[in-house]
Amino acid sequence: MSTPTLWLAAVLPAAPLVAGLLGLLLPPAPRQDRAAARRSAVALGVAGAAVSLLAALALLVRVDAPVEASTTWVDLGGLRVTLGLRLDGVAVLVATAVAAVALAVQVYSIGYLRRGPHDDVDVDHRYPPYAAQLSLFTAAMLTVVVSGDLIMLLVGWEVMGVCSYLLIAHDRRLPEAPGAAVKAFLVTRVGDVGFLLGIALLGVGAGSFRIADVLAHDYGTGTLTAACLLLLAGVAGKSAQFPLHTWLPDAMAGPTPVSALIHAATMVAAGVYAVARLFPLFERAPAALAVLGVMAAITMLLGAFAATAQDDIKRVLAWSTVSQIGYMTGALAVGAPAAALFHLLTHAAFKALLFLAAGAVIHAVGTTLMSRMGGLRAAMPVTFWCMVVGLGALAGVPPLSGFWSKDGVLAAAEAAALDGAGPTAAWVGWLVWLAGLVGVAVTAWYATRLLLRTFLGRTRTPLLRPHDPPALLRWPVLLLTAPAALLGLAAFAPWFADRLRVPGDDTGEAVELVHLAPNLILPFLLLLAGAGVAWAGWRRDPAADPARFLGPLRPVFARAFRLDDVQHALVVRPAGALARVVRTGDELGVDGLVEGSGRAAVEVGGGLAALHRAALPRAAAGVLAGALLIGLAVALIGVTS
């Protein structure tokens, strides 16, 4: 790797890391200096994100072939841990996306975390730690993206989890926030255990944790399958796939910019990215890919159906994220990592756009519930049209970006199903394809519902000041609309498609991201069907929720098939009971032993002290009895010796 590239790649995660650490190390400001502290926090956050975006863009231009640089950090007796960077087209593109969304979110947060039209008092939004944690998170995600060593990747992985926990719990006024943060942390932690074991298995097998070494090593099939399945556990956790998806809807308790950055565009995509990075290994373990395929299919449908019945706008978007990542993992399962990564990039753009626009709506209306919104189109036209673009991209309306990337996924699944292409069995392809098609219809349905309930119809809550959000909130949304709309067209550019080449794919053929074939029409028809049904249902009664047509299924979908309760019964309650048992054992047994010995010593001492304070008669009896005994002893010894 040439030196400027190396420096750029090092600056990429280092700039937001420095900004984050500085922000965290700044002393808390007293009340009167809060404005100054906020300004410096804003400056640090935006600067960190901007520098990393510049570095990413520079790398985007410079890097056109995979490059790598690493140095040994620790050698654990034959097991090498390196500090290294591994850049290829995928890494650079994803890094650019991450940095761009991070910058947009940093700017947006300046306007969002401020006294809004619905706030009665000026609350302390604690901006400095917030911005610092965002920067730290960005640094961690970029570490995951550019890392050349599995241990470094793991470090970034875990720091992301910590920052997610901190940021979800940021708003101290919300009673559900701490619980949601803990739930997010613990559920992803469960996945991370598997991830760690998978990495350990790979590293020990290869004798080194460097990604290049791991990819080059020849593992046995059993080891490889086991390692890949363990890695999938981490992917399921971080990317909110079934069965570890339960944390993502509750994580919406965090501020909306946080949801946009972490839970839509970046962290949840990290799992997909990790699989894509190690895809040569997964290719050799078809069993793991089959499991991934099943997970993806279930998740696609689960997320889509759950999104149909939510009232909270952020929850709709959260379940939508779960479903869309299901598409990405589905693409990976049928052996099309390029399609998965393309969908990752477009999803980052349009999901961040959707969250930020929803945040603008929430900021203006003062509630997240769609049942209280409505008729906002006239009051917030810019937001409305940006939302239209975002939802269109989500549903897959041509020529918006989501259409092309989703089509790429479906085409790959179809090829795997009908032509047997790719490393997995045909049934996996069928599963992913059919689930994907159904998902298209349902996605269109709930996207239309969201648009109609929020912006059209009668106003259910009149706005205090009906106007579009202020500039700081508006411009990030506007700027994200561009890639949400146009990124799909980049698929036609060979330099873009080339960059999404699978690592290790040495064939010279061009990567085909879009397939202009007649079977493009099928998803389009499904989209029209879904949207049409939703619109027709809404037309019948504009004030009512189209979700009422779900009938008895509505509460089931709203509670996401009660999987939360299943998780609670199977995992949370036994863990709680075990914790109580252990705690009781510790308090009674271990502590009891220690304290008991102390108490015993004190009581023995007290007894001896009482003996000392014995009254005269007892003392006299004691002395004379003692003398008698000693005399007896002496006499007996004298007699026997």
Partner 1 sequence: MTGADVLLLALGAVAVGAGALVVATRHLVRAGLWLVVCLGALAGDYLVLTAELVAWVQVLIYVGAVVVLLLFAVMLTRAPIGPSDDLDRPGWAAALVGAGSGLGLAVLLIDAFRWSRVDLPAAGTAERLGEQLFRSWVLPFEVLSVLLLAALVGAIVLSRPDIGRRSTDTSAAQPADEGRRP
Partner 2 sequence: MRPVIPYVTAALLFGLGVYGVLRRRNAVLVLMAVELMLNAVNLVLVTADTTVKAVLPHSGQVFALFVIVLAAAEIGVGLAIVLQLYRLRASVTVDDVPLDEPAPAVAVAPGGLPTPEAPGTEGAVR
Query: Are the beta carbons of 375 and 448 closer than 8 angstroms?
Result: no
Taking the C-alpha atoms of residue 190 and residue 571, their distance in angstroms, rounded to an integer, is: 11
Closer to partner 1 by CB, 581 or 621: give it. 621
Closer to partner 1 by CB, 569 or 634: give it. 634
**What is the closest distance, in whole angstroms, from the C-beta atom of residue 28 to partner 2 in the complex?**
56
630 binds partner 1 (CB under 8 A): no
Taking the C-alpha atoms of residue 601 and residue 348, their distance in angstroms, rounded to an integer, is: 66
> 79 phi and psi, to 5 degrees?
-110, 115
Among 220, 462, 552, 617, binds partner 1 (CB under 8 A): 617
Total site size for partner 1, rule CB under 8 A: 9
Closer to partner 2 by CB, 464 or 624: give it. 624
Q: Count of alpha carbons within 13 Å of 380, Cβ hemisphere only?
A: 35
Chain residues binding partner 2 by CB under 8 A are: 613-617, 620-621, 624
Of 150, 61, 138, residue with least CA distance to 99: 138
**Which of 107-115, 267-275, 588-596, 619-627 is the region at the interface with partner 1 (rule: CB under 8 A)?**
619-627
Of 305, 302, 244, 308, residue with least CA distance to 271: 244
At 86, which helix (H) or strand (E)? strand 79-87
Of 259, 257, 477, residue with least CA distance to 381: 477
**What is the closest distance, in whole angstroms, from the C-beta atom of residue 631 to partner 1 in the complex?**
7
Among 378, 418, 590, 625, binds partner 1 (CB under 8 A): 625
**What is the closest distance, in whole angstroms, from the C-beta atom of residue 614 to partner 2 in the complex?**
8
Q: Count of alpha carbons within 13 Å of 40, Cβ hemisphere only?
A: 14
Report the partner that residue 635 touches, choosing among partner 1, partner 2, none (CB closer than 5 to 8 A by kind): partner 1
Report the partner that residue 631 touches, choosing among partner 2, partner 1, none (CB closer than 5 to 8 A by kind): partner 1
**What is the closest distance, in whole angstroms, from the C-beta atom of residue 575 to partner 2 in the complex?**
56
Helices (H) and strands (E) in the chain, counts: 26, 2
Taking the C-alpha atoms of residue 636 and residue 253, their distance in angstroms, rounded to an integer, is: 86
SS (H, E, C) 560-587: HHHHHHHHHHHHHHHHHHHHHHHHHHHH
Report the partner that residue 633 touches, choosing among partner 1, partner 2, none (CB closer than 5 to 8 A by kind): none
Closer to partner 2 by CB, 589 or 631: give it. 631
**What is the closest distance, in whole angstroms, from the C-beta atom of residue 598 to partner 2 in the complex?**
25
579 binds partner 1 (CB under 8 A): no
633 binds partner 1 (CB under 8 A): no
Taking the C-alpha atoms of residue 317 and residue 394, their distance in angstroms, rounded to an integer, is: 10
**What is the closest distance, in whole angstroms, from the C-beta atom of residue 624 to partner 2 in the complex?**
6
Closer to partner 1 by CB, 575 or 627: give it. 627
CA 635 to chain centre: 87
624 binds partner 1 (CB under 8 A): yes
Among 536, 588, 628, 633, binds partner 1 (CB under 8 A): 628
Closer to partner 2 by CB, 74 or 630: give it. 630
For 426-480, the DSSP string reads HHHHHHHHHHHHHHHHHHHHHHHHHHHHHHSSS-SS--SS-SPPPHHHHHHHHHH
Characterise 218 by phi-psi region: left (phi > 0), alpha (psi -120 to 50), beta (else).
beta
Closer to partner 1 by CB, 539 or 618: give it. 618
Please report, to the nearest 10 degrees, the dihedral formed by the alpha carbons of residues 258, 253, 272, 18 taken in order.
30
Closer to partner 1 by CB, 605 or 631: give it. 631
**What is the closest distance, in whole angstroms, from the C-beta atom of residue 628 to partner 1 in the complex?**
5
611 binds partner 1 (CB under 8 A): no
Q: Which stretches of the chain bind partner 1, using CB under 8 A?
A: 617, 621, 624-625, 627-628, 631-632, 635
